[in-house]
Structure 1
Amino acid sequence: MSPLPRPVVLSYDNDNRRQTDAVQGDSPFRRFGDRPLEMPRYLIKGVLPLVGVALLAGQFSSGKTFIGLDVSLSLIHGVEFLGRKTKPGAALWLAAEGGGLIERNIIAARKAKFTDALDGPFPFLWEDAVPKGDTNAILAELKAKIRAAKGECDEHHPDRPLRLVVVDTLAAYFALEDENDNAKVGTFMARLGEIAREERVLIMPICHMGKSAEGGIRGASAFGAGADAAIAVLADINQATGEVSECRTISLAKTRDGHPGPLASFSLERIEIGIDEDGEPVMPGYVKFAPVGTNSKGKQPSRAVRNLIDSINEVMLKRGADVQVFEDAPPRKAVRIDHVRDEFNRRHAVGDSADTSTKRQAYGRAFDKVLKDQLYASRIVGGVEYIWPIQV
């Protein structure tokens, strides 16, 4: 019997992960076990990757810019975000919209929440200009700006390297020829990802959802497909008046390694930071988080709502499947309503365990609540009703 061929042993450099052959003969493939298992690295543990592209999507007036600022300040101050560990670092904010509000909102958030003020210059860099030229020119300019910001952080903030680049908003900053063209958007997202990996940062464009949050991000499905992660910021908004009722919510809509689903409820609070020329107080906003389902008056979610959310998460882990819930959108990981209801009935004990009518009423109220708060969406597909977390 002829001897087995000698196995190829591969090595990688730490910076670029380039593959090199340790024996004669080249192979274009990796082999299982050729190097230590690479563990995921996070900017925010279980939420945002350390490097790549993450979308921060939300409806008009939902509070997505405030969430972006809260994420930035959590990294700068090196504190947890929603109880999750962060990688301390600096932030670069490119404001094609709302640039005049950035400084005031940062002051408000630091005064109300981030009271452990850093000594010396503050490692938050920002610009409020709208770039000119076509998409390729803007992408090249973006890369140059990131490199310049990294150099400035290395010089002035050696303990806070540039880690996060926020673009507010994607539509206003990049001159996309057609945001509904999947081929063009796919190419754009791939190039944005290349820049993020080359510069070792997380690029987080802020995007708009359509009027119906269930349909996801406005434009081509390639936006969501090309992202490494996505956060959805949702609110119950009166489209005629712009009024936001009750509490807003933040959800992890997409992740490569973590578990998608609701993260927290939040409200936008106001705090006085000074007086204007008319002698009236200037009161910018900041984010105040609460457990999922808590409303703006601080009322905690009911036991039925908590049990329903736990039931959906449990069934999602065991039976979650990709379902084509919308014809013009990518499949969503969803679960059957009947499976969720069975798990809810198992969890939700109400006195006499045989009292099915009481459980049915509790389930119905909880189901209506999570749909109203836009934590989840449901739809009948092929005669079967499914439920899934709101996602982009």
Structure 2
Amino acid sequence: MNTPLSEGFDVSNLSAALLQVVQQEQAEKLEQANKAPVMVRDISNVDGGVIAKFNAKYTTEEALRLSGKYTRQSSGIYLFNGSTSGVAGGHVTENGKFYTFHESDRLLCDGHSHDAFDIFVAHWFNGDFSKAVAQAATDIDPEGQKQRQFDHVKAKGILTPAPNPGTAPQANLVSLFESASDFLTETVKVEYLVRNLIEVHSLVSITGPSGQYKSFVAVDFGCCFVSGRSWNGRTVKRGAILYLAGEGRGGIKRRIKAWCIANNLALSDMRGFYLSRNTLMMDGSNIEQIVSEMAGVEVVAIFIDTTARHIPGNENDSRDMGAYINAVDALRSRLGAVAIMVHHTGHDTTRGRGSTVYRAALDTEIMCDKSQLIFSKTKDAEPPPPMEFKLVSVEIGADEDGEVITSCVPVYGERSERSKSTNFTRHEAIGIRALCEVAAKENKIINNKYAGSTEVWREHFYTLRKSEESDVKQEALKKAFQNVVKGLIIKDALVQVSTDSIVVSEEHQERISTIINLGNISITLQRETGNDGKFPSLFPAV
């Protein structure tokens, strides 16, 4: 009898056991989800028609995708991005509702199945039902919402009376409109901050997941503007910039120095790069001081890094986000500059986090993810092709112990192989690395593909995990490996699972070839062998 790989798994029949357990678990969860009662809300004080229209427009799966809180693992099965287990526990039921077993999703894991509007309430408005209804009314039925607001104001008796028709206009008023016959006679001219990409006086966002080098790109833009150097082959308008940093000022200073060294510029050439000493909230209260301090300086761009650190309210609240955008726009207008905001995505990495008011206000949106810039929103122009980049390390000095201090600068043209890879959990990434190294070392071929021994893979995974956490418990290792195998099967990283061997997907086949060609194999398979010359079983018979 073999000792189980972990509860419910037996190495002697790994493929069948894995698939059977995964399928059985998901079937049991789906059956429970289908039987769960549907959440019923008290809508006596709101317009229930708005909720019905919202649910008619969005399915639960669309709401999940837009919320950014869940990641689709397979058809109707979702993983909560705050999950610690890494095992998918969200299910779309047979009647189109959504049920979650993820206790870390405290707003939806309540024993009920939910519709799209429930997801909207929970993950856009943190459970605030009234705010969600108001926002949905504006988005789904804008004309109806205007009428409801008008009726409400009228009922309160606070309508502003219209001026008498015979009242003479006030003197010294600037005309609110200009005739087309006047401006069409002018020569058409478009002025750019970055040639054919970013116009002057515009509102721009560099948007992407955390840790995807948005700030490196922002600093690179800023240094190009200050120095007059072209950005990725495009001419720029030269001038001073303001960089409002909400965090990491020390890192930004190092990046500026690295940029100067990489571009053979004197540090004094960065005198026009103005970095905030502390966080300046974008609530309009400090505009006059900023304008006064910059008197006589031509500011071409204002960077705000990040929106989350500079918005005075809740970025999910449309009113707070609207107030933030108004403050940024007011500062931009007073200085005659472009405003470039650095903004995070949620768990849905295709859109910026928070209220839709943010993106609606933008002239240009640059998505920054996996070392690639995608101009996802441009006004009055065709977006350019995606721009790839990679970070290059630059030595900028040494510490008191003589250790080299480095920072990085982006170099455009191609991105690193690492940036092209599939998103895995930390443990899944270790699992893929372990399997690729085992396959490279063993050089075993199955159906013209590299394969790794199941037992050796598991042992090497344990070794790598222990190298980063030496006191990890054996049971924790077993559970982690179990979750890794499940996750890699769901993400199609494992294309063949048998009793003795594992074959990875084409993407990782190339990785194995690279390891073999470079001789970069960190695993050493130096265990004692049995009398038959084979490795002894990791699970000896009891």
| Structure having the larger proportion of residues in helix | 2
Give the 3-state SS of the residue equivalent to 2:234 in structure 1. Answer: coil
Show CA shifts across 1:140-172 (max 9, x none).
304521441243x3xxxxxxx211111111111
Structure-2 residue corresponding to 1:212: 348
Q: 1:222 to 1:130 in 2, by over 3 A?
A: same
Show CA shifts across 1:60-79 (max 9, x none).
11000000011011111212
Q: Higher RCO, 1 or 2 (CA under 8 Å, sep at least 6)?
A: 1
Tell whether 2:297 aligns with 1:148: no
Structure-2 residue corresponding to 1:200: 336
Structure-1 residue corresponding to 2:324: 188
Q: Taking every aligned residue pair, what percent have the same amino acid on both sides?
A: 23
TM-score, scaled to structure 1:
0.58
Show CA shifts across 1:330-375 (max 9, x none).
xxxxxxxxxxxxxxxxxxxxxxxxxxxxxxxxxxx9xxxxxxxxxx
- Residues 52-71 of structure 1 mapped to structure 2, 5 A cutoff: 52-71=202-221
Pick the aligned partner of 1:124 from 264, 273, 279: 273
- Whether the aligned pair in 1 keeps the contact of 2:244 and 2:280 (CA below 8 Å) is no
- Whether the aligned pair in 1 keeps the contact of 2:315 and 2:354 (CA below 8 Å) is yes
- Residues 1-392 of structure 1 mapped to structure 2, 5 A cutoff: 28=177, 30-32=179-181, 34=183, 35-112=185-262, 114-117=263-266, 122-131=271-280, 138-151=283-296, 153=297, 161-176=298-313, 178-214=314-350, 216-235=351-370, 248-290=371-413, 294-296=414-416
Alignment length, in residue pairs?
Answer: 249
CA RMSD of aligned residues (A): 2.9
C-alpha distance in structure 1 between counterparts of 2:331 and 2:229, whole Å: 27
- Whether the aligned pair in 2 keeps the contact of 1:185 and 1:222 (CA below 8 Å) is yes
Structure-2 residue corresponding to 1:242: none
- Whether the aligned pair in 2 keeps the contact of 1:189 and 1:227 (CA below 8 Å) is no
C-alpha distance in structure 2 between counterparts of 1:38 and 1:183, whole Å: 36
C-alpha distance in structure 2 between counterparts of 1:229 and 1:73, whole Å: 20
Show CA shifts across 1:94-143 (max 9, x none).
1111111121111111111x2244766721111231246xx5xx323045
One-letter identity of the residue aligned with 1:127: S
One-letter identity of the residue aligned with 1:61: G
- Whether the aligned pair in 2 keeps the contact of 1:41 and 1:49 (CA below 8 Å) is yes
Moved over 6 A (4+): none
Give the 3-state SS of the residue equivalent to 2:308 in structure 1. Answer: helix
- Which is greater in Rg? 2
Q: Following TM superposition, by how much is the alpha carbon of 1:254 offset from its aligned partner in structure 2, in angstroms?
A: 1.7
- Whether the aligned pair in 1 keeps the contact of 2:214 and 2:342 (CA below 8 Å) is yes
- Whether the aligned pair in 2 keeps the contact of 1:46 and 1:257 (CA below 8 Å) is no
TM-score, scaled to structure 2:
0.42
- Whether the aligned pair in 1 keeps the contact of 2:195 and 2:236 (CA below 8 Å) is yes
Show CA shifts across 1:230-254 (max 9, x none).
221112xxxxxxxxxxxx1012222
C-alpha distance in structure 1 between counterparts of 2:245 and 2:268, whole Å: 25
C-alpha distance in structure 2 between counterparts of 1:90 and 1:281, whole Å: 31
C-alpha distance in structure 2 between counterparts of 1:75 and 1:254, whole Å: 22
| Structure having the larger proportion of residues in strand | 1
- Whether the aligned pair in 2 keeps the contact of 1:97 and 1:128 (CA below 8 Å) is no
Structure-2 residue corresponding to 1:328: none
One-letter identity of the residue aligned with 1:296: S
Runs of 5+ consecutive residues of structure 2 not aligned to the other structure: 1-172, 421-505, 507-542
Structure-2 residue corresponding to 1:14: none
Runs of 5+ consecutive residues of structure 1 not aligned to the other structure: 1-17, 21-26, 154-160, 236-247, 301-364, 366-392
Show CA shifts across 1:236-284 (max 9, x none).
xxxxxxxxxxxx1012222223322544111111111111122211011
One-letter identity of the residue aligned with 2:286: E
C-alpha distance in structure 1 between counterparts of 2:405 and 2:181, whole Å: 60
- Whether the aligned pair in 2 keeps the contact of 1:59 and 1:234 (CA below 8 Å) is yes
Give the 3-state SS of the residue equivalent to 2:284 in structure 1. Answer: helix
